[in-house]
Amino acid sequence: MTALVLAPVASARLLARAAFVPNDTGVTSASGPAGGWQEVQWELNGPFGINAPQAWSQASRLDGSGGRGVTVAVLDSGVAYADRGPYRRSPDLSATRFVRGHDFVDDDPYPNDEFGHGTFVASTIGATANNSYGTVGVAYRTLIMPLRVLDFQGRGYPRTIARAIRYAVQRGADIINLSLELYDAPPQPPVPRSVTASRSVRAALAEARASGVLVVAAAGNSFDPRVPGKRYDTLALNVGGTTEHGCLGSYSNHGPGMDLVAPGGGTDDPLTTDPNCQLDSPPGRDISGVSFPTGEPRRFEILPRFRGTSTAAPHVSGVAALVIASRVIGERPAPAAIERHLEATARDLGVPGHDHLYGAGIVDATAATTPLPTPSG
């Protein structure tokens, strides 16, 4: 199914280009309307979304359809990747799209999800497109490497995360998605920290960087102006969360190490003077996707209750996969090159230029997958 959209060109003329509009229904059934995903996934095609449909068409023309050939490691609560005992594979994640993963919580080769969070994150990155079911992943042909580092309550430990990062690097991941956050442990009150605050995680991130693996990390959900910090911020691409109105989410950390933002849903930042923020209006919608309610790993549905930087980060991971697959910045680009490109093509929000609330702005999939001009002369 295709639709015609108008895209501006350098000469200020307008050209009609076909944008890929998958037939996914937006419900967990084939009986829903073809293309119904557009009604629930505002973050892909809305005014303050990531501008995905045109990017899908551009990536396909560049032989990078849906992020094909790129492997994204999802370090989370596991993923509903297979039928095993009480678990079922998500109907929106094809069995052919998984590479071997590992459960670092139970230390076995079966990273089934018991919490639901990791399945949602994996679906945001790579839910199957054009299957008359559910939602569409940003990079719907990527390979997913499920790595379980969080338990059935969504809790984990830095050393576990560090082991999983090294596993992903050693087994060929191109991108690592970290939709998790670190806190100081009890008995003191929880204090949010940057993902680089842990020495063991930091060392693993440095190895990933040296090996050419991009790490995308959620900034965290404590609305803390100090997190992510600037120190060590080159080890991961730090992503904050924005609302349907294009405002910083009321949950999103927004420290000096912020690199980019992406849709995370929820309520607008109550403290900002950003004119995009609509404090007297109803909250914007949350992010919707296919997963299962916690404790019910056999029952899949569209879950509209997810909000936060955990949902923002996988949007950036998906766009990064499209960039790598389409080779718009060359074969096997280094993490620093991908980061610079995503920041340079982001849509500015808030005060002009890079700032601690929005970083370089909201990631733009179409701009990021547009081939760079060929140098003249």
Tokens coding 58:
């551009």
Tokens coding 107:
């230390």
Give CA–CA dist 1/125, Å, rounded.
21
Segments in the chain forming alpha helices (H): 37-40, 42-45, 52-61, 117-126, 158-170, 199-210, 309-326, 335-344, 365-368
Name the burial class of residue 363, with classes exposed (0-12), middle (13-18) and buried (19+) by CB atoms within 10 angstroms of its CB.
buried
Cα 69 to Cα 9, 66, 139, 141, 168: the distances in Å are 30, 9, 11, 8, 16
Tokens coding 29:
């059934």
Question: Which of 24, 57, 65, 76 does the annotation list as catalytic?
Answer: 76
Question: Which of 250, 310, 317, 326 does the annotation list as catalytic?
Answer: 310
- Residue ranges with strand state E in 21-101: 71-76
Name the burial class of residue 170, with classes exposed (0-12), middle (13-18) and buried (19+) by CB atoms within 10 angstroms of its CB.
exposed
Do 159 and 75 meet the contact criterion of CB atoms below 8 Å apart?
Answer: no
For this structure, is 117 an active site residue?
yes
For this structure, is 76 an active site residue?
yes
Catalytic residues: 76, 117, 310
